[in-house]
A and B are shown apart, each in its own frame.
Chain A
Amino acid sequence: MRLRSILGGVALMLTSSMAAHAADPVKFALCYDLSKAYTFVTPQVAQAAKDYADLLNAKGGLEGHPIEVIVQDHGNEPQRGIECYERLKRDGVMVFDMLSTPVSRAVLPRVMKDGNILMQSLAGRGDAVDGEVFKWVFPIGPTYWGQAANDVGYIKQQSGGSLKGKRVAFVYVDYPFGQEPIGILKTLAEKEGFDLQLFPYPLPGNDQAATWTQVRRFNPDWIISWSLSNMHVIASREMKRNGIPIEKYIGVNWLNEVDIKNIGPDAAKGLKRGTNVAGGSTQPLVQEIIKELYDKGKGNGDRKNLEDVYYNTGLAIWSIGFEGARQAIKKDGWPLTPQKLKDGLESIKNFDANGLMAPVTVTAADHGGGGKTRIEMWDGTKWVPQTDWIASFPEEVWKVVKEQSAAYAKDQK
């Protein structure tokens, strides 16, 4: 009797320790700039990651393993980002996101050396979509080159299939982020025969007056703009001043509802942006989060952020991250290794998080997942899609990617 109870106790302990083992969390590190330059996007993205993790955890996590989201501020300082990476990698984190171009660049050599996963959607080097060179980096989503090509693709559609003689102005903030699409735009201008002119304006982008008077003289048919958040607001004011209709304006994906509010919802009517996620809280996934978390008072932040397209951007980034980890556990089992996670991410096929974003198919060669975007137009109250999810001129885009990644690969030898 006694022996039995002891044995029973031991068995109980064993099973409970096994249960504890099975419940080992999968950790994801969000080393974000929550206090300096990227604060216009990071809180929403981090909130989305936490919300989605809670939602999945409530449903049993990733194949039984709960998700643990670790958020830490690095203040957009490379050395603090490195510290975050070095510390958390020792805590068993294998998936990192820095969401800052300077910090992603600074961490990349270490990630490549250690063999950990760096998610760097929409930040960092664009050529990292070349999975054959950047084995451990997953910039899922469009590169800026891809986005620019898709914008041109949309203009081509709108002009009835030919761009001959069209005038396109490229207005950009004059530092690496804004300069990135110039190469691809020039290539496409030559190929498609449209007239491209470049209009840089200096950081911090608060004064664009001189630039826009030049744009007016050029009298473009379309304006592609590489600007960040409030720079769009300044641009819209200058366009008004110069009598340029806002319908011609196609912004990069960094244009959200706050900016629309600052431009004025009515004044912004007709404004367009390229995006890889569907905006707004009407998306099924966001609705589910509202029902399961926010209606029960369990949300991870301010409810009004759910209207923000950057919240959906965060959902898109992390639904892919979590899905990759789920696939990895399903395919290769626990415990996870970076190699398994890499295989997991590379087996994502046609994943769109319930209609939230452009369908993503990641392969060993293409870590960008296809780079599809669409053009949306603000109709005064909401964003209206103008196209399907498209990826235009893939050959030209990949040519740029390959050129750059080959230069990186050469350096490594």
Chain B
Amino acid sequence: MLFRQAGILHTNYAQDRALFPIPADRWMIGGLLLLAATAPLYLNSLYLSSYLLPWLVWTAAALGLNLILGWAGQFHLGYAAVMGIGAYAAVHAQRAGVPWEIAIVLAGLTAAVIGSVFAFAALRVKGLYLALSTLALQFVMDWTISHVPAISGGTQATLQAPDIRLLGQAVTSDAGLYYVALVWCVLVTTFMLNLRRTALGRALVAVREKDYAAAVIGVNSFYFKLVAFATSSFIAGVSGAVLIGTFYHAVTPEQFSVDVSIQALAMVIVGGLGSIIGSYFGAGFILLMPGAMNSFISWLTGLFGFSLGIETLAHLPHALYGALIIGFLLLEPLGLGKIYGNVRDYLLVWPFGYVKK
């Protein structure tokens, strides 16, 4: 009914390889893009600047991590550090007078270079050992930032980021910053969608499934792992720079600490490994749910007239949030993206459910 497949006939390869062969998907994507593009018209500035904007930037970042984790199957526990490299690189470049458009590319390149230099060492090991050596990257970065005043900006460890300027135009309004984040997120999403149908994407999947087997069929697994690290680091670096430029306006080490790495990892795992829509869900869930839970519980207590201690009020949302993560992963271990996939699969043949069986 909704996702009608009847009458879709591919008469050439381009059609057959289209990103969204089913019209319903195209309509939905179009509708969502339209909603996103017009968001400043109907959303108030609070939702735009404090919820939607960070969500988009974090989604882009989560997609970058998903590339390494979900596609190439390599653990990365130091992802926030790579974002931090990009953020610091961009802010330093900007302060040295480099235009923002070039600064973010520099941010991506710096992150990619440092990320893959590190990968050279880290990729000699696999699995949990790799996870630990990426964690080392995180700690090396933390240490470097807090012990090199030239990077961190002195004892206060805060570097103010200049306003971002696009083509000489200062972008300071909530809507303007939102569009910057939106464009970056859409770019990364498009890249990831297309990655699926390239030789690189297939090679990464082969490496993920079994690097030894991949080597047997002629895929140089070390090379592709390195490419994956570099690409994902590039996305991380630019995302970090965009996060600072559009949201934080100042860069400090805590914004890219080990906790943040774990959060990014949680985004990808809760969202679903290798799932693009899952990265959206995961980022939204991990980023916005604690705050939303907080408001929800405050609202509930207000509604029923409980009076809870401030500490209970602070811890209860965390408990519920944790329970929700466990609940969702029990329900569907492949993540929120897979839950969406299940619903879609059901609707694909609805109301003729027996077709599937």
Contacts and interface: CB of A to CB of B under 8 A. Distances in A.
B331 to A, nearest CB: 25
B255 A35 contact: no
Decide if the interface of chain A is mainly helix, strand, loop or mixed: helix
B156 interface: yes
Nearest to B156: A125
Interface string A283-309: 000000000000000001100000000
Contacts of B158: 105, 108, 125
A407 B294 contact: no
Contact of B252 (A43, A105, A110, A127): A105
B247 A79 contact: yes
A108 B49 CA distance: 16
B203 to A, nearest CB: 36
B311 A34 contact: yes
A369 interface: no
A254 B181 CA distance: 40
Interface in B221-248: 247-248
A125 B156 CA distance: 6
A105 B51 contact: no
Contacts of B315: 34-35
Interface in A173-219: 174-176, 179-180, 182-183
B156 A411 contact: no
B160 A412 contact: yes
Contacts of A34: 310-311, 313-315
Contact of B54 (A79, A125, A174): A79
Contacts of A412: 160
A174 B146 CA distance: 9
Decide if the interface of chain B is mainly helix, strand, loop or mixed: helix
Contacts of A106: 248, 250, 252, 255
B294 A109 contact: no
B50 interface: yes
A46 B310 contact: yes
Interface in B65-98: 95
Contact of A404 (B54, B156, B309): B156
Nearest to A182: B155
Given A106-B250, A110-B249, A301-B309, A86 B49 contact: yes
Interface in A310-344: none
B248 A35 contact: no
B46 interface: yes
A127 B156 contact: yes
Contacts of A125: 156, 158
Contact of B255 (A39, A101, A102): A102
> Could you say which of B51, B158, B248, B309 has the most chain A C-beta atoms within 10 Å of its C-beta?
B158
A126 B156 CA distance: 8
Given A71-B310, A75-B290, A109 B250 contact: yes
Given A109-B250, A175-B146, A176-B155, A83 B255 contact: no
B347 interface: no
B254 interface: yes
A176 B290 contact: no
Given A80-B290, A109-B250, A125-B156, A35 B46 contact: no
A90 interface: yes
Contact of B50 (A43, A75, A86, A180): A86
Contacts of B49: 86
B310 A47 contact: yes
A78 B80 CA distance: 14
Nearest to B309: A301
Contacts of B154: 404, 407
A51 to B, nearest CB: 12
B314 A73 contact: yes
B287 interface: yes
Given A46-B310, A83-B291, A412-B160, A105 B155 contact: no
Given A35-B315, A87-B50, A102 B252 contact: yes
A86 B177 CA distance: 15
B157 interface: yes
Given A35-B315, A109-B250, A176 B157 contact: yes
B177 to A, nearest CB: 12
B250 A43 contact: no
B311 A43 contact: yes
A35 B318 contact: yes
Interface of B: 46, 49-51, 54, 95, 146, 154-158, 160, 162, 247-250, 252-255, 259, 287, 290-291, 294, 309-311, 313-315, 317-318
16 contacts: A34-B313, A50-B310, A71-B313, A75-B314, A78-B248, A87-B50, A90-B46, A106-B248, A106-B255, A108-B250, A125-B156, A125-B158, A126-B156, A176-B146, A176-B157, A407-B154
Given A75-B314, A82-B50, 7 more contacts: A34-B314, A77-B259, A108-B158, A125-B158, A174-B146, A183-B155, A412-B160
